[in-house]
Amino acid sequence: MIPEIGHFSLILALLVALTLGSFPIIGAARGNTVWMGLAKPLSALQFALIAFSFLCLAYAFAAKDYSVVYVANNSNSQLPLQFRIAAVWGGHEGSLLLWALILSVWTLAVSLFSKHIPDAMRARILGVMGLISVGFLLFMLMVSNPFDRLMPAALDGKDLNPLLQDPGMIFHPPMLYMGYVGFSVAFAFSIAALLGGQLDAAWARWSRPWTIIAWVFLTVGIMAGSNWAYYELGWGGWWFWDAVENASFMPWLVGTALIHSLAVTEKRGSFKAWTVLLAICAFSLSLLGTFLVRSGVLTSVHAFATDPRRGVFILAFLVVVIGGSLLLFAWRASTVGRGGKFDVVSRESFLLANNVLLAVAALSVLLGTLYPLFLDALNLGKISVGPPYFDAVFAPLMAPAVFLMGVGPIARWKDAALPELFVRLRWALAISAITAIVLPLLLGNLTPMIGLGLFLAFWVFASSAELVYQRLRKSEGGLLAGIAASSRSWWGMVIAHLGIAVFVLGVTVVKGFESEIAVKMHPGDVAHLAGYDFRFDGVESRNGPNYTANHGQIHVSKNGVLRTVLEPEKRLYTVTNMPMSEAGISPHLIHDLYASLGEPLDGGAWSVRIYHKPMVEWIWFGCLMMAFGGLLAMSDKRYRLNKQAKSVATGQGQRA
Amino acid sequence: MLKARHKRFILIGIGLALIGLAAMLILNAFQSNMVFFYTPSQVAKGEVPHNTGFRIGGLVEMGSIKRGDDGLTVHFVITDTAHTVPVEYKGVLPDLFKEGKGVVAQGSVGADGLFVASEVLAKHDENYMPPEAAAALKSAQEQSKTLVMPK
């Protein structure tokens, strides 16, 4: 009964979404305040209905109701409760429901925190979000209903893929989806601006915190996924340029461009049309990513043939959303107006260059991800482009972008002078250039890539230090007053940029100095790597709730002193009969020691992989710094509601 | 001083040049890092490149896995049911590598016909067949059909 109620609730949510997607938008066009006023209560109602439906599905998982197809396919009676709940988004149908739920959360949030936005604008924004919701709810109800029944009911479920039975599964997908779907807000703001013909500094100030918070979620989501892959896959890698990863990385690249472009739109009134286009692209890529990952197209292009309705619906939805919004853009972009002029050398042009580089990088990922699929779909052969392609493309594209991070914040708006910039940055340049050469020589490995990576990381550190120093020197009344004198959004930028430097440093050091061995080890054997001795003490049997495991112990010592014990595990999940490796990792600021078990060999021996990963944790720490910078920026007081009520009055006057 | 119009031209010119450069870089990298996929039948017919790497896929033949004394060098045979390719790989195999299951290997083939794999791809689902492996089996089946039923 409960699944039917959940299904019914979803149908009601579709009706509400249809109303939300039509009346407020029409009302905004006709100036009908009653119709516009519907947007807010409808947003709340839609959230309540979808949340209820989601709870019904979660209940079916918790209560082990294997008469529901989706539950039977993605869960099992032996699965621990926290994973049974996380299994709600473990498959195609449930993750779409999570998507719709998160969309309704964002819709509700916009309706609650938009008192300062003019009625017509708010009605259009919520209406556009309602329309997106219609698409997803229709898709679920027509071709991928999570509440479909199984007749007769299964005795037990087929179990969640063991790879997903990890705490990472509980946090990573919801975080990632908060980011993906969060870009729908920026998208809706842009469509509303195109419909209404209003795009000014006030508009940018309203949409900026929403865009930044979505970007923060996406950053944390991608970081959590990368960290999960690192410890779960057992290969010591933290990024594989796999199509699923690329699907989340493309919106991140465009989203990063978008938050920079929005800054220009807010401060200088320029880049308006470009900002709108980026918002459309960021959300389109989010949609594309969702469907790439969730439609099975990556497993086999021809899987669409087995259930063509899904494929056709997905393509039609993408065409309507992307095509429709680009058409609207082509038709209405001229109404949003032009911005202020700027010189060849100015902060605007540096930010423009940053935007172009990020957009081109996103395109290069899109090419590497989609082109093999196209060839396959057209039966023109099977190819793959792996990490070598992305590595070859990314370094030359991102190096100038990171270099500009040092220059941009120091350059003046509108018109800057190169000689002056050089004078201000000469120390930063000298320090980073010297470090880039001396440090690798001291560590005994100087290659062009290591040199470039260190140069860029220290360039951002040094130029940021210069930037902060100049700010603080100008202010009066001590250090604390100096810190408080600059806005939170400015400090957010500085911290996020430092996060990039930490990230680049981590990537450079781990790529340049990591080492690994694969060895056959009998109990008592000692392997040597990076100055450490790894003694394998054999495995013992251990049983988990739904798996049996060989639990290994490796004592790590240096010069005879015990440093740590690594405990890699080889599990066999009993329901799916699927083996899984759990790496044993000793994380550390300076380096990670990492071991994973391969397979059992003769006489109690195992094949073992051991990795030494210097500064790998810095990669994720850098991502967290970027996210923290974003949070700080969006908490800036000029985005706060009570302050905005006043600024709206002046904002209205700036209509372009 | 330059006129504003000229500055604008310079800006656009630099922009276009950079985008052109980036496009060249991307397409070039793409071209040189494409890895093609072949079936064991195509390998048997000699349709594969000899100087660059490629991927093959199919099933790991039953009873074909043989380990070297070091425990890390593995020999096995990939089959598409019509033809087979002997493979050598040194390293730890992925969790789901099993006889009778689908596999994709990347590497190159030597003059002796031995495929030396640099990478054996891991896929994490018992029922999941790597798409390339499935395609290899399918095409071998279609080939055999045309052989059985000549017109």
Instruction: Write out pLDDT tens, residues A551-574.
Output: 999 999 999 999 999 999 999 998
- Is the pLDDT at A164 greater than 70? The verdict is yes
| Cα(A493)–Cα(A326) distance, integer angstroms | 30
In this prediction, residue A137 carries a pLDDT of 96
| Cα(B98)–Cα(A406) distance, integer angstroms | 52
- Is the pLDDT at A652 greater than 50? The verdict is no
- Nearest by Cα to B133 from B117, B116, B115, B120: B120
ipTM, 2 dp? 0.81
- Nearest by Cα to A606 from A595, A591, A590, A592: A595
In this prediction, residue A649 carries a pLDDT of 41
In this prediction, residue B144 carries a pLDDT of 61
Q: Which range among A28-42, A535-549, B26-40 shows the weakest confidence by mean pLDDT? A: B26-40
| Cα(A357)–Cα(B12) distance, integer angstroms | 15
Pinpoint the alpha helices (H) of A201-271.
201-232, 243-268
Three-state SS for A370-439 is HHHHHHHHCCCCCEEECHHHHHHHHHHHHHHHHHHHHHCCCCCCCCCCHHHHHHHHHHHHHHHHHHHHHH
- Is the pLDDT at A463 greater than 50? The verdict is yes
A:334-353 residues touching chain B, CB 8 A cutoff: 341, 343-344, 349, 352-353
Cβ-Cβ contacts under 8 Å, A163 against chain B: 124-125
The label of the residue with tokens 């980073």 reads A432
8 Å CB contact of A599 and B92: yes
Nearest CA in chain A to B29: A389
In this prediction, residue B3 carries a pLDDT of 67
Q: What mean pLDDT comes out for the span A651-655?
A: 37
Band of pLDDT at residue B11, cut at 50, 70 and 90: confident
The label of the residue with tokens 């790879």 reads A163
In this prediction, residue B148 carries a pLDDT of 43
| pLDDT > 70: percent of chain A | 95
For every residue of B56-118, DSSP letters joined together read: EEEEEPTT--EE-TTSSEEEEEEE-SS-EEEEEEESPPPTT--TTSEEEEEEEE-TTS-EEEE
Q: Which range among A286-290, A305-309, A608-612, B10-14 shows the weakest confidence by mean pLDDT? A: A305-309
Q: What mean pLDDT comes out for the span A365-388?
A: 85
| Cα(A414)–Cα(A344) distance, integer angstroms | 9
In this prediction, residue B122 carries a pLDDT of 57
Band of pLDDT at residue B123, cut at 50, 70 and 90: low
For the record, the structure tokens of A67 come out as: 């008469």
A559's CB contacts (< 8 A; 6+ apart) are none
In this prediction, residue A477 carries a pLDDT of 72
Please state whether the predicted TM-score (pTM) of the whole model is above 0.90.
yes
Mutation target among A242, A302, A393 for the B interface, most CBs of B within 10 A: A393
Considering chain A, what is the average pLDDT of its residues? 89
Q: Which helix (H) or strand (E) holds A505?
A: helix A488-513
In this prediction, residue B121 carries a pLDDT of 78
Beta bridge partners of A591: A614
In this prediction, residue A579 carries a pLDDT of 86
- Is the pLDDT at B19 greater than 90? The verdict is no
In this prediction, residue B149 carries a pLDDT of 41
From the options 1.20.1560.10, 2.40.50.140, 1.10.3720.10, 2.60.200.20, give the CATH code of B37-148: 2.40.50.140
Distance from CA of B149 to the nearest CA of A (A): 24
In this prediction, residue A9 carries a pLDDT of 97
- Is the pLDDT at B124 greater than 70? The verdict is no
| pLDDT > 90: percent of chain B | 9
Report whether A78 contacts A545 (CB < 8 A).
Answer: yes
Band of pLDDT at residue B143, cut at 50, 70 and 90: low
Cβ-Cβ contacts under 8 Å, B11 against chain A: 344, 349
Report whether A182 contacts A214 (CB < 8 A).
Answer: yes
Q: Which helix (H) or strand (E) holds A458?
A: helix A448-474
- Nearest by Cα to A242 from A95, A373, A369, A367: A369
For every residue of A305-349, DSSP letters joined together read: HHSHHHHHHHHHHHIIIIIHHHHHHHHHGGGG-------SSSHHH
Band of pLDDT at residue A591, cut at 50, 70 and 90: very high
- Is the pLDDT at A620 greater than 90? The verdict is yes
8 Å CB contact of A520 and B124: no
Q: What mean pLDDT comes out for the span A113-133?
A: 93
Every domain of chain A and the residues it spans: 1-165, 196-413, 417-511, 515-615
8 Å CB contact of B126 and A580: no
Mutation target among A160, A364, A576, A580 for the B interface, most CBs of B within 10 A: A364
- Nearest by Cα to B136 from A306, A22, A29, A381: A381
Band of pLDDT at residue A16, cut at 50, 70 and 90: very high
8 Å CB contact of A299 and B131: yes
Cβ-Cβ contacts under 8 Å, B34 against chain A: 383-385, 389
In this prediction, residue A651 carries a pLDDT of 40
Cβ-Cβ contacts under 8 Å, A392 against chain B: 25, 29, 32-33
In this prediction, residue A641 carries a pLDDT of 59
Band of pLDDT at residue A642, cut at 50, 70 and 90: very low
Distances (CA, A) of A517 to A349, A514, A595: 48, 11, 10
Band of pLDDT at residue A306, cut at 50, 70 and 90: low
In this prediction, residue A567 carries a pLDDT of 95
**Other CB atoms within 10 Å distance of the CB of residue B92:** 25
Band of pLDDT at residue A504, cut at 50, 70 and 90: very high
Band of pLDDT at residue A455, cut at 50, 70 and 90: very high
Task: Give the strands of the sheet with A515-521, arranged side by side.
Answer: A515-521, A606-614, A591-600, A584-586
Q: What mean pLDDT comes out for the span A426-453?
A: 91
| Cα(A186)–Cα(A286) distance, integer angstroms | 12
A351's CB contacts (< 8 A; 6+ apart) are A260, A261, A263, A264, A271, A408
8 Å CB contact of A341 and B34: no
